Amino acid sequence: MKRILIIGAVLLAMGLGACTDDFLSQKNPNEPSVDQFWKTRDDALAAVYSMYAPLTYQYRYGFFEYGWGPENWRGDDVIYASTYAAFSKIARFTNTPDIWEVAELYRNNYDIVNAANQCVGNIAKCEIPDAEVKQLVAEAKFMRGYAYFRLLRNFRYIPLYKESPKSKDDIYVPQAERSVVWAFIEEDLKEAIELLPLTREGDEVGRATKAAAAGFLAYAYVYQQKYADAETLLNRIIGGEFGAFDLLSVDNYNQNWDGTNEHNVESLFEIHMANVSPKGKTTNILQAEFLAWQEANAAPWLFNEVQKVKDIDGNVDQRYYKSMISPDLPFTAPLGEYSDLSDFVSGRVLILKHTTPSWDPWERWENNFVLMRFADILLLQAEAINEQGRVDDARPFINRVRTRARIAELPTGLTKTQMREHIMHERAIELCFEGRRWYDLVRWHEAGWFDIKTLLSEHGKPGAENFSNQYLYYPIPEYEYETNPKLDRNKQW
């Protein structure tokens, strides 16, 4: 099933964006008011669907420009290889508060918060059974928690809207302390775990489940170094309480993102992509970006890292062949012959993740983008246990990921620091180009594992010399300060 959950845009029009003066506008008689809308089950579902629409960034170059890019350019696994000023500034740590792509990342997530708050506050008005009201409200709380989690890992201090603004005073709020937002995220995701369904069928596939909520709550725990809480919840996921998740074989590793096996046994939550205009104009343009325009390349450091550990037959880690391609290493291409790629002779290491088995390099495709998968869960568990000092207990979880890649299991008797090194290696290889690497570096830096600027320099990250701790997070977009007088300039970065 392939569709995009974009129904219910009217709800976005009815709502209030992050820090705007929309509530002062006169009512449009051609648009439904809040009192007119919240009546039926169809109204409730349209509102719920509207929460998912911002995930895909349905304009210009969409998800690549405003979603994937801002969450990947800063990592040491990606090299920005073109000349667009905004992307170059982000990648080289010279960005300023007026970068539009970052502003759209900010705005889109508040669009989700806005739509979710409307659902939480109004779905009970619809003529539907109480049990369904609770489940739909829990779905809204999952989406709100997810959006705030994404905002909090990108922006140091953010405004917190717990409900839809009803007045000017409600709209103009200051940034909240991070601990307050974290607590709100946890509250939302806990309720979602409790009340969301275990599975989705038919047209509901792609909507949030217990597993999705549990996965992101566990990730939030690890992010905050709440390792014991994370371990307990991750055990529930791994133990099958929220579904029978597993790892695909290494031969099918690329099915996690190539569109041939969506919502597979490894996927906990993914963004649905689909044609929204004539052929060739779909949302997911990562394939064109990586293989035709080649704006994003795999970093030479990562290419070298993937070759450090051989598989049990003495070959290069098979994940390389599904993640990237370099003219410096023999390659049997799963997608066909690559000799015709326009700039392959330059020696660039090209990205294969998120590309499809059959492709025109200039085409745009509709393969989904996975936001949480089981391999990440296993590696988070290894980390959570290791950080509590039980090194050998962490082994089975990292070994499960290594075994899928036909890599030998780790021995017993490693130190905590040695296990950290293995976890860092596995997360770098397993999750490269999936919006994890930069955030791993930030949280490990903040936990004291290493100095991030030193590591970026050692890994040859262009622009590492520009880095300071200010760039751990994005600044609140400048336009927000033009509309919200309660924002603190000292908390912009």
Sheet (strand 78-80) strand order: 78-80, 296-298, 350-351, 324-325
The Cα 247–Cα 397 span in angstroms is 12
pLDDT at 280: 44
Residue pair 484/172 in contact by the 8 Å Cβ criterion = yes
CA within 13 Å, CB half, 42? 3
3-state DSSP assignment of residue 235 = helix
Q: What are 297's strand-pairing partners?
A: 79, 350
pLDDT at 52: 96
The Cα 121–Cα 35 span in angstroms is 12
Contacts of 63 (CB under 8 A, 6+ apart): 56, 57, 271, 273, 283, 284, 285, 286, 369
Contacts of 258 (CB under 8 A, 6+ apart): 354, 355, 356, 357, 367
- Structure tokens belonging to residue 382: 């290894």
E runs forming strands in 322-393: 324-325, 350-351, 369-373
Quickly list DSSP for 98-120. Answer: T-HHHHHHHHHHHHHHHHHHHHH
E runs forming strands in 331-385: 350-351, 369-373
The Cα 362–Cα 87 span in angstroms is 20
Q: Phi and psi at residue 80, in whole multiples of 5°? A: -80, 125
pLDDT at 163: 96
The Cα 89–Cα 74 span in angstroms is 10
| pLDDT by position in tens, the chain (length 493) | 343 333 333 344 344 444 444 434 455 544 555 668 999 999 999 999 999 999 988 666 778 889 999 999 999 999 999 999 999 999 999 999 999 999 999 999 999 999 999 999 999 999 999 999 999 999 999 999 999 999 999 999 999 999 999 888 889 999 999 999 999 999 999 999 999 999 999 999 999 999 999 999 999 999 999 999 999 999 999 999 999 999 999 999 999 999 999 999 999 999 998 765 554 444 577 888 888 788 999 999 999 999 999 999 999 999 998 999 887 886 655 455 555 565 555 678 989 899 887 656 555 678 899 999 999 999 999 999 999 999 999 999 999 999 999 999 999 999 999 999 999 999 999 999 999 999 999 999 999 999 999 999 999 999 999 999 999 999 999 999 999 999 999 999 9
- Structure tokens belonging to residue 369: 């983008």
pLDDT at 344: 52
3-state DSSP assignment of residue 305 = helix
Q: How many residues does the chain have?
A: 493
Question: pTM to 2 decimals?
Answer: 0.92
| Other beta carbons within 10 Å of 101 | 23
Residue pair 295/322 in contact by the 8 Å Cβ criterion = no
Q: Which helix (H) or strand (E) covers residue 191, if one does?
A: helix 178-195
The CA-based angle 56-59-64, given to 5 degrees, is 55
pLDDT at 16: 41
pLDDT at 366: 82
- The sign one gets for the Cα dihedral 4, 10, 14, 16 is positive
The Cα 190–Cα 286 span in angstroms is 33
Q: Is 243 exposed, middle or buried (0-12, 13-18, 19+ CB in 10 A)?
A: middle
Residue pair 76/91 in contact by the 8 Å Cβ criterion = no
Packed helices 416-430 and 391-404: angle between N→C axes, nearest 10 degrees: 30
Domains observed in the chain: 1-196+450-493 (1.25.40.390), 213-449 (1.25.40.390)
